[in-house]
Amino acid sequence: MELHERIKKIRVDLELTQQQYADELGVSRDTVNNLERGRMQIKEMYIRLICKTFRVNYFWLTEEKGEPFIGVPDIIMDDVIEEYNLDDTDRSLIEEYVKLPPDSRTVIKEYLMNIFKKTLE
C-alpha cells in the first residue's frame, strides 16, 4: 500500500468524510483529496500532523510497519524521544521505569540522585 493510500485508510477507518478529516487537521478538503490521491508530494509536516491528530503510528504511516493506531502515551513518548534525541535504549528504560511500583521508583531516584551529586561535586 502506498503512503497516499494509507492516509486515506486512516480517514476511512475513522469513518470521517474528507471535510471532517480536513477540519480536524486544519487543512482544506482539497488538500486531503490531493493527499489521498497521491497528487502532491506528501510533506513530513502532513505526516506528523496526521500522526498527532489521529494517534497514528508514524512507522505504519510511513513504512507500513506495526499497527496503524497507537495510544496517547506513545505519542507523548515519541515527542520526548525526538525533542531530546533519545535512542531505543533510552525509550525502553523510560517505559520500564514508569511501569515500576512507586517504592521501586523511589529507590531508583535516590540511587540516581546520589550518582548526580557525586558527578557534580
pLDDT recorded at residue 121: 67
pLDDT recorded at residue 117: 85
CA distance to 32, 80, 92, per residue, from 23 (Å): 10, 27, 35
pLDDT tens column, 39-87? 999 999 999 999 989 989 999 999 999 999 886 677 788 889 999 999 9
CA–CA dist 104, 118 (Å, integer): 22
CA–CA dist 15, 24 (Å, integer): 13
H or E element, residue 31: helix 29-37
- Dihedral sign for Cα atoms in the order 70, 71, 74, 76: positive
pLDDT tens column, 80-115? 999 999 999 998 898 888 887 888 889 999 999 999
Bridge partners (DSSP) of residue 56 are: 69
H or E element, residue 33: helix 29-37
pLDDT recorded at residue 72: 60
CA–CA dist 15, 20 (Å, integer): 9
